[in-house]
Chain A
Amino acid sequence: MNWIKKRPYLLFLTPGIILYSIFVIYPIFAAANISLYKWNGIGKRVFVGINNYIELFTNQDLFNQMTNALKNSFLIFALTVIFVIPIQIIMAYIIYSKARGKSFFQAAIFSPQFIATPIIVFIFTLIFDGNIGLFNKLLEVAGFGHLAKPWLGIPKMGIYIVWGMISWAGVGVGMIYFLGAMKMIAFEEMESAYLEGAGFWKRLFYIVLPNIKMTALNLVLISYIIGMTIFDYSYILGGISGGIKGSVDVMSLFFYRMAFGDSNPLGGVISDNSIGMGTTIACVLFFMVFIVSMVQILIVYRKEEE
């Protein structure tokens, strides 16, 4: 008892460390271990070393599925960085500059965050559906009726629609992050720039942007992780196969399909190695997130030290 009394922090730390280790940390390592076996989760486990990885990269069909999913994941990431982050900055700046209706903007832009993903997909269906969609109706009213299309049914558009849903739902959160960073800027700094004649946009470029660059970097990293791990939208929109010809397939869905997909179209090799190959894909995904996450941990940690 004395030993514990001298270390009271252990009483506080132990429950957290135990449960967090079991359900968050251990699974990461366990997945790496399982990926070295040929296993379907029920039968016998056969140690195969790095054979799963070799198969993933050499089996033409698996490799194609992976590169396609990766391409889509990267596309979501790239589109987010190129379009969504600048939009978030501008929205935040408009609200920060106390535009009329700022509370309304803030609440409305943020509100999709509270809507569950299946409902967001459904809302997009109501807007972009070929028959009952608002968008086609709008085109028709505006005299562009000949452009009307069943937007959600075009495989080429699929991943852009997924990106649109992610952005619509998530744009508010990043905007609030930027707004928070902008509110940390010293008032004097903005005021003196104003008095020196720096216009609205000049102040954004020369004062606001340098002050929010850490937030921007952080959001770039978060967008990367989201792009790599996003699952719900593609699954709901395209089902387990990730849409027609994998048009909305992403890495997490590819993983899910291999590990848990019972209606596996590949059959044979994969289905009696579902868990082995599933965790192999999870580990590849894990590795891709890991590299970027390390950067983020370092940034957060350095900020802590300051």
Chain B
Amino acid sequence: MNKHQGKAAGFIKAFLWIYCSFIVFILGYITYNSLRPKSQILSNTFGKPTGLSFDNYKKLIIDDKFFRYFGNSAIILIASLVLLILLSSLTAYGIARYKFKMKKFVRIFFLIGLMFPVQLGIVPIFLIMSKLGLINNMASVILISGTNVSMPVFMLSNFFAGLPKEMQEAAQIDGAGEWTIFQKIMMPLAKPVVMAVCITVSVQIWNQFFIPLIFIQSDKLKTIPLLVTKYTNNLMSSINLALAISVLSTIPILIIFIFFSNKIIDGVMAGAVKG
């Protein structure tokens, strides 16, 4: 079925090769430039490479404490994920495996958040957080990212609903309590879906900009994307650091992605087909 696709298809394929190669090229270009001193990048952009070194990285990691920002991003990511998976798997299981009066309403209730990006309610959330004393505290970012459960609840409840009823009944006959069934039998089965959720959500949480921008002011608590803007806001004085941080925060993730790309893309697809 692959042959005889005509000239147009050939043209598009050629274009795709160029486009995709360009993406790889630009990543290489950034990596290359991140090894050059600032003066070279700005005044001799396309000239011969001289004085390649890891100085920019040294400055970023030692002087500007890159790993503190990395740590903040990691804490927010992990805590948000734990909260999100805990809440959404419990909720999804409750919705999918039990019969009760308001079931339909509860399903739609949890779908609502899918439609409304967090910006819309940010002022009231800001007021809640300031009442709780969580402004300029990572907990506020974690609470917001970890309670945005619509998508995970949707994916997980579809999964749980598809499991045969007999499993639950058999375990009940064996004397297992509700909690044991959930924890020992259902959750292990849901691992692939949980993984798919984690992957899609992690990217969003790791790269999120708006929420940390509003809730975190002190440098000690800032995340990587906020640090990036500090450099990119003034390229004349810190383009070298902007390059170094772009490489350091992007290339490792892309390498992980390339290794697991089929799995990750299948996960995204699974979420999409159901959505």
Contact = CB atoms under 8 A, between A and B. Distances in A.
A296 B115 contact: yes
B116 A118 contact: no
Contact of B228 (A11, A122, A137, A173): A122
B15 to A, nearest CB: 10
A297 B268 CA distance: 20
A31 B257 contact: no
B82 interface: no
The interface residues of chain A, by DSSP majority, are classed as helix
B254 A111 contact: yes
Interface stretch (A60-68, A75-83, A285-293): A285-293
A48 interface: no
A160 interface: no
A194 B5 CA distance: 12
Interface in B255-272: 257-258, 261-262, 265, 268-270, 272
Nearest to A173: B268
B162 interface: no
B144 interface: yes
Interface stretch (A22-30, A51-59, A264-272): A22-30
Interface string A109-131: 11111111111011101110001
Contacts of B9: 94, 200-201
A190 B118 CA distance: 42
A27 to B, nearest CB: 3
A116 B250 CA distance: 8
Contact of B16 (A7, A105, A180, A218): A105
A51 B22 CA distance: 52
B115 A297 contact: yes
Interface stretch (B48-56, B57-65, B203-211): B203-211
Contacts of A27: 120-125, 128
A184 interface: yes
B237 to A, nearest CB: 14
A31 B149 contact: no
Most buried by B among A101, A111, A229: A111
A90 interface: yes
Contacts of B206: 116
Contacts of B147: 19-20, 22-24
Given A105-B16, A113-B203, A126-B29, A34 B249 contact: no
16 contacts: A8-B98, A13-B106, A41-B127, A90-B12, A94-B13, A99-B2, A104-B20, A106-B265, A112-B23, A137-B45, A180-B273, A215-B272, A236-B209, A278-B123, A279-B124, A290-B115
Interface of A: 7-13, 15-17, 19-20, 22-28, 30-31, 34, 41, 90-91, 94, 97-101, 103-119, 121-123, 125-127, 131-132, 134, 137, 173, 176-177, 179-181, 183-184, 190-191, 194, 199-201, 215, 218, 225, 229, 231-232, 235-236, 252, 255-256, 259-260, 275, 278-279, 282, 285-286, 289-290, 293, 296-297, 300-301, 304
